[in-house]
Amino acid sequence: MKYIAEFRDGEGARHIADNIKKEAHPDKSYNFMEFCGGHTHAISRYGIADLLPPNVRMIHGPGCPVCVLPIGRIDLAIRLALDRGVMLCTYGDTMRVPASDSLSLIKAKARGADIRMVYSAHDALKLAEQHPDREVVFLAIGFETTTPPTALVLRDAQARAVGNFSVLCCHVLTPSAITHILESAEVRTLGTVPIDGFVGPAHVSIVIGSEPYEHFAQEYRKPVVITGFEPLDVMQGILMLVRQINQGRAEVENEFSRAVTREGNLAAQNLVSQIFELRESFEWRGLGEVPYSALKIRPTYAQWDAEVKFDLKYQSVPDHKQCECGAILRGVKRPQDCKLFGTVCTPESPMGSCMVSNEGACAAHYSYGRFRDIALVAIA
C-alpha cells in the first residue's frame, strides 16, 4: 500500500539504524522524549528501541489523551450519567479509564447508566436529535487533533437549535504540556529526567503546524523533529535529532513533510478559535495543574456547555497510591518500574490510565515489550 509499505521496509530500517550507530558518539548520551502516544506505540510495536545503540534512549511522554485525563473529569461524566440521567457519549478508550470508587464509565454503564461509545462527535449529536426528550452529553477528550470535530459539532448544534445536546470539554494543548515538562524541577533542576530533544507529534502538527514548536527550540535549546508514525519515520526522526545534537543545533525540523506544514491547517485553527477559548488552568494526570493548557467553550455557546448547563464543579482526586502512571507520564519512571504492572494491572483490568489505551506507555509495553524484562537463564 502506498505510503505504508515503503515506510515499513526492513532493509531501510537497518540502514537508518546503522547510520544512527555510526553517528551517535559512544561517549555521549542521547535522551529523546517521544511526546505522542502514537510514537510510543510504534516504538514498542516495531521494536525500534532494540535497533538503537545503548546510549540513545527514548523517554515516554504525556501525549496519550486518555492517559492524561484526571480522575476528577471522569467522575464528572459518571455523575452526569448516574445521578442526572443523561445519555453520555464518548470515544471507546475513555470507557475504561479508572475513576473514583473503583468505577469507570463501562462499570457505570453496567450499573444502569446510559453510556454509549461513539465513533465521532456527530454521532452524539444525531442521538440528541433522535431522542429530543433526553439530555445528551458528549465527553470530548483529546489534543488538537480531535478538537476541530468537537468545534464543528458545537457549531452544528447551534445552527440546528438542538437544545438537548451539550459537550463536556476536556480538550488539552500540546505546546503547554511540553513547556510544563521543560520547566519542571525534574528536568531543569534535579536532572532526573534528562531530555536532549523531542520527537514531535504527527497528527497534532498537521493541525497546528510546526511553528508552535519553534519556541522550545529557541528558549530551551531543545531540538524538535516532527515525525510520522511509521517505523522508518520514527527511525529517521531519531537520526535527525542525533545529528542536531552532534552539530550543536536546536531547531525544528519536519520529517513528516508529506503531511505537515509550518502554518498547519488554518481553516481548522480558525474554527477552533471561534468556538473555544483558553482555560486559565487545567489538571493533567501526572503533571498536575498546568496553566493555559486546555480549552473551554466560549460564552457564545454556553447553552451547549455541559459544565455551565449542569453547574458542574470540578474536584481533584488523587491516583491509586501504588500506581506510577503520573511518574511514567512525566518520563521519571518506566512501566516496568511499577509494582502493579502486569500483575493486578493489565489491559483487561487496568488500575491506571496508562494501561487503558494502546497509545499508553504501559499498554504498549505490556503488548510488545514485557517479555524482554524476563531474565534469560542458561540451562545446563
With 70 as the cut, is the pLDDT of residue 64 above it? yes
Helix (H, G, I), strand (E, B) or coil at 321: coil
Do 82 and 167 fall into the same domain? yes
Q: What ranges make up the beta strands (E) of 230-339? A: 252-254, 276-278, 281-284, 288-291, 295-297
Query: Please, what is the average pLDDT of the chain?
Result: 92
Q: How many CB atoms lie within 10 A of CB 359?
A: 21
Rounded to an integer, the average pLDDT of 295-302 is 98
Read off the pLDDT band of 374 (50, 70, 90).
low
CATH of residue 289: 3.40.50.11740
pLDDT in tens, 84-99: 999 999 999 899 999 9
pLDDT of residue 4: 80
Among 207, 225, 254, where does a domain finish? Answer: 254
Position 348 pLDDT exceeds 60:
yes
What is the model's pLDDT at position 379?
Answer: 62
**Other CB atoms closer than 10 Å to residue 138's CB: what's the count?**
30
Q: What is the pLDDT averaged over residues 37-64?
A: 93
Q: What total number of domains does the chain contain?
A: 3
104 and 122 in a single domain? The answer is yes
Residues 165 and 269 in one domain: yes
Q: Residue 164 has which C-alpha cell?
A: 438537548
- Assess whether 333 and 192 both reside in one domain: no
pLDDT for 133-142, tens place per residue?
Answer: 999 999 999 9
Name 303's bridge partners: none
pLDDT in tens, 1-42: 577 888 888 899 999 999 999 999 999 999 999 999 899 999
Q: Are 329 and 285 in contact (CB under 8 A)?
A: yes
Q: In this predicted model, what pLDDT tens digit does every residue of 176-197 receive, in sequence order?
A: 999 988 888 777 766 667 899 9
Range of the domain at 148: 71-173+264-309
